Amino acid sequence: MAKPDLPKPTEAELAILRVLWERGPSTVREVTEHLQDERGTGYTTALKLMQIMTEKGLVKRDESERSHVYEAVASAENTQRQIVGDLLDRVFGGSAQQLVMQALSAKRTSKVELAEIKELIAEFEKKAK
């Protein structure tokens, strides 16, 4: 489980975390290969960011091999929950309804996605009883 006091990652740090969540523990070279096409991130930039992320506690580094292997400390779900919670408080005054309304109106939502959202809401309603 993630430490509750982990700092919120920057956009560049989130890009690295997405690679680590998708691939699992990875070297800087492996992360760079994934980010090169998407963001144009070079090796030294990725290395520096991952060193900073280690200092912040966002990733941990296994130094037992010649090429250090990095792993995300928090899961994608915990990080998303932290960021959404912060956004909910700062932008929407704690109103989940306003957040959801804005999220649904910001981008076109497919009928399949809406059906899945309705199912999730039904599950939350059952838990709330």
User: Could you report the per-residue pLDDT of 37-62, keeping only the tens digit for each?
Assistant: 888 889 999 999 999 999 999 999 99
Residues 22 and 61 in one domain: yes
Query: Is residue 5 situated within a structural domain?
Result: no
Residues 16 and 66 in one domain: yes
SS3 state of residue 71:
strand
- Within the chain, which residues score under 70 in pLDDT? 1-5
- pLDDT at 128 (0 to 100): 85
b/e map of 73-96 (b: 16 or more CB within 10 Å)?
Answer: bbeeebbeebeeeeeeeeeeeeee
Residues 15 and 62 in one domain: yes
Max Cα separation, the chain? 54
Query: Is residue 97 situated within a structural domain?
Result: yes
- pLDDT at 4 (0 to 100): 57
Query: Is residue 6 situated within a structural domain?
Result: no
Residues 24 and 45 in one domain: yes
> What is the pTM for the complete model shown?
0.82
Residues 47 and 95 in one domain: no
Domain limits for position 58: 11-72
Residues 63 and 85 in one domain: no
Residues 64 and 112 in one domain: no
Query: Is residue 96 situated within a structural domain?
Result: yes
- pLDDT at 20 (0 to 100): 98
